[in-house]
């Protein structure tokens, strides 16, 4: 398709600038492929070293595969998904590459709150580009995920410039907002237990105020409920799973707000598949149960786009 050709051309131009010095920290054989842990200097994150993981099925040696980006939740690194989701056989069966970035900048010189909290700062970048003085140099995970990292992947690995995005909790928020803001760059989006309405829950209001300041109009661009209200783009094949036994859903505070998202999508006439899965919690036990379905969902759409 002409869209794919344009992507290839723009990717090619960007590629010259991003044949970055990538340091392979580890290589692990798993299923019928290889998981690599890669370190590089992330310019969008203040020029600090950042780590991502990439899983390449063996078939990558013979053909370019599409990419599914996985965005993890609060406190996670690239390792949580790799170690717990059990996704690699599904990636091989469906012929997709998986890319797992970190959830924030981290390391020497990266600012944070004192005392350290689990739901903000390091390990909790919320997939935004910060504008407040303290955080704007390093906390630009939105730009990192949507531009810098795809440029690196598409310049250094045998992949096609077609991508989908998925994630969990804070990462589900990241996946939904990134796809809704960039429908030209993502074929499909899925999420597990996403934070659907950060503007209305404690996790979100803390993060958005510290990263973006007090202007709540600026928060709307990072809120899936707000974005879907005015969404006019192509069908992103939005696919979400939420466990009914999730303590962040059914506890004292509903941090996730799936019903608000479903209502907003219905009002905006945007198609969404949102499944409430009986009894499952917020953990990787839940994700490992359904990750194969999510990967198959993306692969079907990605391969159809590549073959169009």
Contact 92, 72 (CB under 8 A): no
Q: Which is catalytic among the residues 155, 169, 188, 190?
A: 169
DSSP symbol at 242: E
Count CB-CB contacts under 10 A for residue 269. Answer: 7
Q: Which is catalytic among the residues 237, 282, 297, 298?
A: 282
Contact 212, 130 (CB under 8 A): yes
CA nearest 49: which of 76, 21, 69, 26?
Answer: 21
DSSP string, 37-102: EEEEEEGGGTSEEEEEEEEEEGGGGTS-EEEEEEE--TT--THHHHHHS--HHHHHHHT-EEEEE-
Q: Note if 102 is an active site residue.
A: no
Q: Note if 138 is an active site residue.
A: no
Contact 189, 50 (CB under 8 A): no
List all residues 6 or more positions away from 93 whose beta carbon is below 8 Å from its beta carbon.
Answer: 296
Count CB-CB contacts under 10 A for residue 274. Answer: 17
Contact 92, 294 (CB under 8 A): no
The sign of the CA dihedral 108, 110, 113, 116 is negative
Using DSSP's 3-state secondary structure scheme, residue 271 falls into: coil
Q: Which residue has the tokens 């989701």?
A: 85
Q: Note if 250 is an active site residue.
A: no
Q: Which is catalytic among the residues 112, 129, 223, 246?
A: 246
Q: Which two tokens stand for residue 171?
A: 């990462």
What residues act catalytically? Answer: 169, 246, 282
């Amino acid at each position: 398709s002409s869209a794919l050709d344009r992507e290839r051309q723009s990717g090619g131009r960007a590629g010259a600038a991003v044949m970055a010095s990538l340091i392979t920290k580890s290589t692990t054989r798993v299923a019928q492929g290889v998981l690599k842990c890669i370190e590089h200097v992330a310019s969008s994150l203040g020029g600090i070293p950042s780590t991502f993981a990439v899983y390449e099925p063996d078939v990558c040696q013979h053909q370019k595969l599409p990419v599914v980006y996985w965005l993890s939740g609060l406190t996670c690194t690239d390792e949580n998904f790799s170690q717990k989701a059990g996704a690699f056989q599904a990636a091989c069966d469906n012929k997709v590459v998986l890319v797992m970035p970190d959830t924030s900048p981290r390391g020497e010189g990266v600012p944070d709150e004192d005392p350290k909290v689990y739901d903000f700062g390091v390990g909790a970048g919320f997939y935004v580009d910060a504008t407040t003085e303290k955080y704007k140099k390093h906390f630009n995970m939105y730009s990192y995920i949507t531009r810098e990292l795809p440029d690196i992947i598409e310049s250094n690995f045998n992949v096609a410039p077609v991508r989908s995005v998925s994630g969990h909790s804070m990462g589900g928020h990241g996946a939904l907002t990134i796809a809704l803001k960039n429908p030209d760059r993502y074929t499909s989006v899925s999420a597990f237990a996403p934070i659907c309405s950060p503007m209305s829950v404690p996790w979100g209001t803390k993060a958005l105020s510290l990263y973006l300041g007090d202007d709540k109009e600026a928060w709307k661009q990072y809120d899936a409920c707000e974005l879907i209200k005015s969404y006019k783009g192509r069908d992103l094949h939005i696919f979400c799973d939420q466990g009914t036994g999730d303590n962040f859903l059914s506890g004292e505070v509903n941090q996730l707000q799936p019903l608000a998202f479903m209502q907003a999508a219905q009002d905006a006439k945007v198609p969404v598949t949102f499944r409430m899965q009986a009894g499952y919690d917020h953990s990787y036990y839940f994700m490992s149960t359904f990750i194969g379905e999510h990967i198959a969902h993306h692969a079907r759409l990605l391969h159809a786009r590549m073959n169009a």
